[in-house]
Amino acid sequence: MARRYLPPASLVVLALALWQGAAAAFRVPSWVLPSPALIVQTLWTDRGLLLANTWVTLEETLLGFAVALAAGLGLAFLVHRSSLAERALWPLLVASQTVPVPAIAPALVIWLGFGLAPKIVVVGLVCFFPIVVATVDGLRGVDRELLDALRTLGASPRRLFAEVEWPAAVPQVFSGVKIAITFSVIGAVLGEWVGASAGLGYTMIRASSQLLTAQVFAAIAVLSAAALTLFWLTVALERRVLRWKFRTGGEAS
């Protein structure tokens, strides 16, 4: 395990060392580009502010992701079961991804206000598509001949889904969920940038307007840590649910 993470950790340490050395050697003003040491200091001195706003962003992130997960799984099941729904909805789903979420976020604030709702919608929009696509691909990947054989033996559609289709699709579902949970933090920040009174995205906007660049980078560091934590919690859940996959030599993403 240590060997696996040693190369990326070494690259990160090297990049931070070069950054720190360049900032000192060229005497870059902290409001232009703060040094890693100053960012770490800011993380400590502003820990109360950052922690309070982290909880706000995490609430938006998790609620939006939950909405995306429920809606994404539901729509994927509908598309899988109904050829009419697939023909009607699939092109619209693909077309929806051509609309930049930041472009419609201001309209969401106008329609839903400055509260929690528009942030949840933005997170949901960002997370929704990977979950739908991964789930549909997983359900379509089941061996058709196996399903036909089980039908001839009298298996009901409900039993086929519960005992064959869904278990076979779960690895693909987790692939989509891992992508979505990482994007969810970005969605929450996008929503806060458009209109908010709290959260790490709001903290970044306010700090930037006051040339507190170290605080901006500190907020980015916290956001990155939050996204990585959510990702690895999802990986841990995947390993627990799909023990058979990793026991037989499968690798986590």
| pLDDT tens for each residue of 60-108 | 999 999 999 999 999 999 998 888 988 998 888 888 888 888 888 889 9
**How does pLDDT run across 91-100, given as a tens digit for each residue?**
888 888 888 8
Q: What CATH number does residue 135 fall under?
A: 1.10.3720.10
* pLDDT, position 212: 96
Q: Is residue 132, in this structure, part of any structural domain at all?
A: yes
Q: In a 10 Å sphere around its CB, with 0-12 CB exposed, 13-18 middle and 19+ buried, how is residue 8 labelled?
A: exposed
* pLDDT, position 252: 45
Torsion of CA 173, 175, 180, 185, to 10 degrees: 130
Contacts (Cβ under 8 Å, ≥6 apart) of 163: 155
pLDDT band at 156 (very low <50, low <70, confident <90, very high): confident
CA 20 to chain centre: 30
Supply the Cα-derived Rg of the chain in whole angstroms.
Answer: 22
For residue 20, give both structure tokens: 């720190």
Q: Is residue 165, in this structure, part of any structural domain at all?
A: yes
Q: Is residue 15, in this structure, part of any structural domain at all?
A: no
What is the average per-residue pLDDT within 109-128? Answer: 92
Q: Is residue 6, in this structure, part of any structural domain at all?
A: no
- Region label for 199, one of left (φ > 0), alpha (ψ between -120 and 50) or beta (otherwise): left
CB 140 within 8 A of CB 81: no
Q: Is residue 193, in this structure, part of any structural domain at all?
A: yes
> Of 192, 185, 183, which is closest to residue 106 (Cα–Cα)?
192
* pLDDT, position 1: 56
Q: Is residue 24, in this structure, part of any structural domain at all?
A: no
Cα(27)–Cα(16) distance, rounded to whole angstroms?
A: 16
How many separate domains does the chain show?
1
* pLDDT, position 49: 97
Range of the domain at 127: 35-247
Query: Residue 195: is its pLDDT beyond 60?
Result: yes
